């Protein structure tokens, strides 16, 4: 590594989120339309190409690698890729290898993930009500996910729940979800719904539950202590003194978190998005495939892309319209 990746606003870029597939076995109402058209397989990076791509980023100073989708664990032979990344953990160049999952496949892969060096997983779970879970995921089944969480904890993986705050849907579960996570020694992060992609008949504004309101409600029942923890990421954390657990808030709409952004996102087709909330992207698949034995052009393309990273995004619901919307689905960029 000659020089680290630094964007135009002096932010070091040391965190890469990689979508390994746009496919998913759920159809969550805030993420996808029910009848999705997925990418042809020939457009996807192969597992070997994903290895080469991620290894280039590691050489350029990326220390944290999060695997996402779609649902990453539905990609065929995906554990081959996880095991190939283990060498960067063993060498000390990569500090953390982790993933975000819907939990549906965790009972199958938890032990293998731990063996590959994964120590933490984020599980997307918006409700503990079986019927509501089936409604919000359209195709998902809650018992399968709960078995996956059990398997992950049994394997030694630290689990964090990511819950999207949905007005009129899980408001009444704020305290039951909190207590369930506390009883399982699981951290919890709430996320504001983001305006990404066409989701059919679902109403973005109708879904939007402002996290300032959610936090105020928590404060009526618990003593909240702000934590100074900063990872360069979007979450801001509090500790609930009564339970000792950590609660995170990801607020792309009410509180812009861009000033400390240390990440970029790679899609399963090799597009690099320098900002989740902007359309600008760089094609890294072309230099990867056009120069199969020389990583120099790929690394040059990565550096050129980082030089275009914007200061921040423009998500905004304040005018009762979905301003700052991006056309791609979250599953395309990586959850």
Which residues are known binding-site members? 17, 24, 28, 30-31, 66, 70, 100, 124, 160, 194, 258, 261, 263-265, 275
pLDDT confidence of residue 334: 60
**Residue 87, SS3?**
helix
From residue 20, alpha-carbon distances to 74, 106, 203 in Å are 10, 16, 28
pTM score of the predicted model: 0.88
Dist CA 302 CA 215 (whole Å): 38
CATH of domain 15-160+261-333: 3.20.20.70
DSSP assigned state of 45: P
- What are the structure tokens assigned to 189, written together? 């992060």
Q: Which residues pair with 249 in a beta bridge?
A: 190, 236
Concatenating the DSSP letter of every residue in 14-41 gives -EEEEE--S--S---TTT--SS--PPPG
pLDDT confidence of residue 256: 59
Which residues are known binding-site members for S-adenosyl-L-methionine? 30, 70, 124, 194
DSSP assigned state of 166: B
pLDDT confidence of residue 36: 82
Answer yes or no: are the C-beta atoms of 203 and 157 closer than 8 Å.
Answer: no
Q: Which residues of the chain have pLDDT under 50?
A: 196-202, 204, 315-326, 328
pLDDT confidence of residue 34: 81
Enumerate the domain spans of the chain: 15-160+261-333
DSSP assigned state of 46: P
Which residues are known binding-site members for [4Fe-4S] cluster? 24, 28, 31, 258, 261, 275
Dist CA 251 CA 248 (whole Å): 10
Q: What's the chain's length in residues?
A: 335
- Among residues 19, 1, 11, which one has the least CA distance to residue 332? 19
pLDDT confidence of residue 119: 98
Dist CA 117 CA 82 (whole Å): 8
């Amino acid at each position: 590594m000659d020089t680290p990746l630094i964007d135009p606003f002096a932010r070091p870029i040391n965190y890469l989120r990689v979508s390994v597939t746009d496919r998913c076995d759920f159809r969550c109402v805030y993420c996808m339309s029910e009848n999705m058209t997925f990418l042809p397989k020939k457009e996807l990076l192969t597992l070997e190409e994903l290895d080469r791509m991620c290894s280039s980023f590691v050489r350029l100073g990326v220390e944290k690698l999060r695997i996402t989708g779609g649902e990453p664990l539905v990609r065929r032979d995906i554990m081959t890729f996880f095991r190939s990344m283990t060498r960067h953990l063993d060498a000390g160049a990569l500090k953390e290898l982790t993933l975000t999952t819907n939990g549906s496949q965790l009972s199958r892969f938890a032990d293998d993930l731990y063996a590959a060096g994964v120590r933490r997983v984020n599980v997307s779970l918006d409700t503990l009500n079986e019927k509501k879970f089936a409604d919000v995921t359209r195709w998902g089944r809650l018992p399968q996910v709960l078995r996956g969480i059990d398997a992950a904890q049994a394997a030694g993986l630290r689990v964090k729940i990511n819950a999207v705050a949905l007005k009129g849907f899980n408001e009444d579960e704020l305290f039951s979800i909190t207590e369930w996570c506390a009883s399982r020694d699981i951290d919890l992060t709430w996320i504001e719904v983001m305006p990404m992609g066409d989701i059919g008949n679902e109403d973005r504004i109708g879904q939007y539950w402002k996290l300032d309101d959610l936090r105020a409600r928590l404060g009526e029942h618990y003593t909240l202590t702000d934590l100074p923890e900063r990872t360069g990421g979007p979450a801001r954390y509090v500790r609930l003194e009564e339970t000792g657990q950590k609660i995170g808030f990801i607020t792309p709409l009410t509180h812009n978190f861009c000033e400390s952004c240390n990440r970029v996102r790679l899609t399963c087709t090799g597009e690099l998005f320098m900002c989740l909330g902007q359309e600008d992207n760089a094609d890294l698949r072309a230099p990867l495939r056009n120069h199969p034995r020389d990583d120099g052009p790929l690394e040059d393309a990565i550096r050129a892309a980082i030089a275009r990273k914007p200061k921040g995004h423009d998500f905004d619901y304040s005018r009762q319209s979905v301003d700052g919307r991006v056309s791609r689905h979250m599953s395309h960029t990586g959850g």
